[in-house]
Amino acid sequence: MSSNYALLDEPAQWSAFSTPSPENKNADQTRGLWQSQVVVEGMHCGSCALNVEKALRSVPGVKQATVNGATHRAEVVWSAEQVKPSQWLNALHNAGYEAVPANDHVARNGIRLKCSAKPKVLCRLPR
């Protein structure tokens, strides 16, 4: 799977699993900090979660990594000028884990969508 990670290096793909960090003051969204959400496969215990965090934090340009072993999710804050998603995803691969983009980050961030059953009414996506 690691050979496919390069596909995620295209800035047009970042919004599928990332959002610009609130600290990102750049008008050019291909620069600055990004927050990405991934689902990590192969984590079975708290020690695994620590190993995933260690692997992510070892990559230059990764500013923060937070891993939840119970949900198998990781949030990665990274600098677009210093690192690309394939680099930190490959670090996970090299540590024995695989990750897939968690494109449901939109739901957790409370973005509202129109409900088709009730025109002009907004509703929250399920969390």
Report pLDDT digits (tens) over 56-92: 999 999 999 999 999 999 999 999 999 999 999 999 9
Q: Tell me what pLDDT residue 115 has.
A: 36
Chain Cα centroid distance, residue 69: 15
- Residue 3 CB partners (closer than 8 Å, separation 6+): none
Tell me whether strands 73-79 and 33-41 are parallel, antiparallel or unpaired.
Answer: antiparallel
Burial class (CB in 10 A: 0-12, 13-18, 19+), 23: exposed
Average pLDDT, the chain: 81
| Residue 111 predicted with pLDDT over 80 | no
pLDDT of residue 24: 67
Q: What is the pLDDT of residues 112-127, one digit of tens each?
A: 333 334 433 344 444 4
Residue-range domain boundaries for the chain:
2-124
Domain 2-124, second-level architecture = 2-Layer Sandwich (3.30)
pTM over 0.95: no
- CA distance readout (Å), 121 to 109, 112, 113, 124: 19, 10, 9, 10
